[in-house]
């Protein structure tokens, strides 16, 4: 059990591709590479009613308290390109109580382990609409991820209901590509949840803390004081003792003023 109810401070980080630039041409999806031909087959794992009707809910996709449901068991090599979830439940804290886990290539411990809300940037257990390149929350509580997630042999995705109320329906579409092969130096996607008060960091081994910096989701429960924004953003690269990148405040970092 993760025991993730009502956190005070949250740290959540993604570490995705750790590959030599340009080596993974065959699985890139930005517009600059749209003209390059690719050799893969599109596929989907879904909660759809396979009888041809539209009975996606009505208990078919219920997740009981304490239950772990495998929502995808994929054969590689492949790359997950899109996750879409929406959840029907009366549990007020279901974004904390439902835990998302992903396993690549038969590993025993998950490469992704996080409350489902935190994975999609909803760190305080409440929905709000936003749009970004890798993540978005759409209307009617639609959770979307566009992070590419490669796997060579197999991929397993599970959700566990650690709350005391059932999720009446858990709907999902998991889009992925079936490839003939993947580059040898293609990195795996990782996401891990951390919780502490106060948060003192989770590693000092910055040499091994590799990966691509993608962005930040930031949430605050303010217990006292007034304006929270005055705190400069700083980036220390390759062991630097002073920041090579220094901003002017948290609100400015998020493109406000």
Domain ranges of the chain: 10-208, 222-257
Q: Which residue has the higher pLDDT, 104 or 215?
A: 104
The CA distance from 99 to 241, in Å, is 37
Q: What's the pLDDT band for 56 if we cut at 50, 70, 90? A: low
Any bridge partners for residue 175, and if so which? 44, 82
Question: Which is the CATH superfamily of the domain at 10-208?
Answer: Protein of unknown function DUF2961 (2.60.120.1390)
Specify whether the CB–CB gap between 102 and 48 falls below 8 A. no
Q: Which residue has the higher pLDDT, 116 or 223?
A: 116
Q: What is the pLDDT of residue 6?
A: 37
User: For 120-149, how does the pLDDT look when each residue is reduced to its tens digit (9 = 90+)?
Assistant: 999 999 999 999 889 999 988 999 999 999
Both tokens of residue 3? 């025991």
Global pTM reads 0.80
Could you tell me whether strands 112-115 and 190-195 are parallel, antiparallel, or unpaired per DSSP bridges?
parallel
């Amino acid at each position: 059990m993760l025991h993730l109810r009502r956190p005070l401070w949250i740290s959540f980080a993604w570490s995705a591709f750790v590959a030599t630039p340009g080596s993974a041409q065959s699985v890139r999806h930005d517009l600059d590479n749209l003209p390059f031909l690719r050799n893969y087959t599109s596929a989907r794992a879904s909660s759809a009613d396979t009888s041809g009707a539209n009975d996606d809910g009505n208990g078919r996709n219920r997740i009981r308290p304490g239950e772990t449901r495998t929502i995808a068991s994929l054969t590689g090599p492949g790359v997950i390109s899109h996750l879409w979830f929406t959840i029907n439940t009366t549990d007020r804290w279901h974004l904390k109580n439902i835990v998302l886990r992903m396993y690549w290539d038969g590993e025993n411990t998950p490469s992704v382990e996080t409350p489902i809300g935190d994975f999609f940037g909803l760190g305080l257990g409440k929905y709000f609409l936003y749009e970004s390149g890798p993540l978005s929350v759409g209307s009617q509580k639609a959770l979307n991820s566009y992070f590419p997630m490669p796997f060579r042999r197999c991929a397993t995705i599970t959700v566990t209901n650690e709350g005391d109320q059932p999720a009446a329906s858990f709907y999902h579409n998991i889009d992925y590509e079936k490839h003939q092969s993947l580059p040898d130096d293609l990195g795996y996607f990782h996401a891990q949840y951390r919780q502490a008060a106060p948060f003192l960091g989770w590693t000092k081994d910055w040499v091994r803390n590799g990966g691509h910096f993608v962005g930040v989701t930031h949430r605050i429960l303010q217990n006292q004081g007034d304006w929270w924004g005055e705190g400069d953003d700083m980036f220390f690269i390759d062991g630097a003792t002073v920041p090579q990148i220094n901003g002017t405040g948290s609100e400015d970092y998020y493109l406000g003023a």
